[in-house]
Amino acid sequence: MRTVRTVVVCLAALSGVMAQTAEKCVIQGRVVNGATGAPLKRASVWLEPFSPSRGVNGAPTVAGPAAATDAEGRFTLSNIDPGAYLLSARRSGYLDQGYGAAEPDVVGPPLKLNPGDTLGDVTFKLTPQSLVYAKVVDDDGDPVPDAQVMVYRMSFAGGRKQLAQVSSATSQADGSFIVGGLRPGRYFMSANLPGGNLEPDSRERFVTTFYPSTADPAAAVPVDVGPGGEVRGLAIRFHRERVFHIRGRAINPATGTPAAGLVFHLVPREEGLLPVAARGATTGRDGSFEFLGVLPGSYRIQTDPSASFVMIDGPNTAVTPREALFARSVVSITDSDVDDLAVPVSKGAEITGRLLGLKSSAERPAVALVAADRSSNLLAQVDAEGGFRFHNIPPDVYELAVGRLPDGAYVKSVTLAGQDITNQSLDLTSGAGGAMEIGLSPDGGEVTGTVHNAKGDPMPGALVQIWPAGGDSARSVKADDSGAFRFRSLAPADYRVAAWEDLDDDLAEYPAFRARFDAQAVRVTIAQRGRPQVDVKAIPREASASEAAKLP
């Protein structure tokens, strides 16, 4: 009898294991060379859990165990829990590929796995990397070793058109360099020689030079690279410019003493195609500083907000941390040096604030100040009474953001020092702060809907955006595995909703781009606690690319 019972118990346990195993999912497939169709051995294939907040064109991230392909390029991912995933593949010498993505180096739409699913026909076609072989030479055509070479693509970072760095290299003894890992597209190249290869006080120096030989990024000649292509025979010829110096002292007006050990940055005032390139200098015991080899132009001298103010103490240069001091001065160079420049430093702004109308929630809210150029941000935690404080804020222009609000709540009003600044930037460049009040409302609305393609089929993974009519900022989510999306905690207003088959994350932040599709966006009005539903037709990627090419 005991034997029979043992067998029954074992069978029951085995049945439970079999049922559990049957719920798991399996993915099988191949990885091949997209150009030749040849199988690729030792490629990695992995899954990443899908998230609606995941960047549409973010690079695939290895988030879990990866399967390696065999000699026939085959792989198997097993024991997978049901759910929505992003599937990606990678191999040395090739570009990463998201399954279902229209181009390399981006994630694809989410893949839905139901209990017990087995997918056996997944094929990745990896694009071979492209390479550029080139040289750096001086104005006599002689090779320049140890030059720093940067490779860029045009992007729309920070809501404006910019050159975004994608790769780099260093020139060898014969001036040659190789840049690999490039996907098909149009690139720009620059070369920089640390120190300019001249004496510090020389009136001329080699400056950052864009291919083929210009100091102006707007005049650079692009290099077109095809899939798996090799571009050869290019040369960046260094460009010389007349340069000047800036010398001065940092003074604390509050004490009349020099500000020692302070990190200054020299930053161009005009925004160009390149992200702001700051040069650094540290003030000495007497507050003195200098910038050498400066090109004509208008600049800001400002402190590094991430660096603490320190005191240089004695011959051993021991440093003592102090409360940070900040500077922000303007200086222009035309055809002469700048000497004896006095740069005042002071403490930053103070903001003491309160969230009004805050209801209890599982998470405590946080208030953030995000620099307008996205270079830095400050975070203040909110206490149980809704209070928060920003201490010694570096002078800059900031955007206000409030996170982790209770479900349905939105920011209704903002005042600083008694002035209404709702939906405005905070200009703290003067160092003035004050009392801030952020009024919250629990009556936010939400929008739900589904994205379809031109055939009427749902579009999983499409980028969906919503923005206030006439507003510059937008919120973005990815449609889930059924093409559905949801935006919550929306302030009452008129909105536009649009969806994109495929769109760079940077381009999605560009207000001028969205404005070109205003007529195609779905119009929706959100009332307090409103819950409208919309059906959105995705804008084809060809239309997005065409309009992006027209942007100034």
CA 352 to chain centre: 30
Residue 548 has pLDDT above 90, yes or no: no
pLDDT tens digit sequence for 430-458:
888 999 999 999 999 999 999 999 899 99
Name the nearest CA neighbour of 145 among 106, 182, 171.
171
- Give the model's pLDDT for residue 321: 46
Mean pLDDT calculated for residue range 291-301: 90
- Give the model's pLDDT for residue 319: 43
- Give the model's pLDDT for residue 3: 39
Mean pLDDT calculated for residue range 254-277: 83
Mean pLDDT calculated for residue range 449-478: 91
- Give the model's pLDDT for residue 430: 83
- Give the model's pLDDT for residue 157: 67
What is the spatial distance between Cα 87 and Cα 60, in angstroms, rounded to a whole number? 9
The domains located in the chain, with CATH, are: 21-126 (2.60.40.10), 130-242 (2.60.40.1120), 244-344 (2.60.40.10), 349-441 (2.60.40.10), 445-549 (2.60.40.10)
Name the nearest CA neighbour of 375 among 271, 291, 452, 229.
271
Contacts of 335 (CB under 8 A, 6+ apart): 296
Enter the pTM of the model: 0.76
- Give the model's pLDDT for residue 396: 86
What is the spatial distance between Cα 67 and Cα 348, in angstroms, rounded to a whole number? 52
User: What would the 3-class secondary structure string for 110-173 be?
Assistant: CEEECCCCEEEEEEEEECECEEEEEEEECCCCCECCCCEEEEEEEECHHHCCEEEEEEEEECCC
Highest mean pLDDT: which range of 170-179, 190-199, 503-512 = 170-179
Could you give the percent of the chain with pLDDT greater than 90? 57
Give the N- to C-terminal CA distance of the chain in Å, as an integer: 86
- Give the model's pLDDT for residue 497: 96
CA 454 to chain centre: 30
Residue 13 has pLDDT above 50, yes or no: no
CA distances from residue 424 to 236, 267, 333, 397, 414 in whole angstroms, order as listed: 44, 25, 33, 10, 9
Residue 7 has pLDDT above 50, yes or no: no
- Give the model's pLDDT for residue 199: 53
Range scoring the smallest mean pLDDT among 73-87, 144-158, 476-490: 144-158
pLDDT tens digit sequence for 101-137:
888 888 889 999 999 999 998 999 999 999 999 999 9
What is the spatial distance between Cα 123 and Cα 115, in angstroms, rounded to a whole number? 22
What is the spatial distance between Cα 41 and Cα 33, in angstroms, rounded to a whole number? 10
Mean pLDDT calculated for residue range 169-191: 95
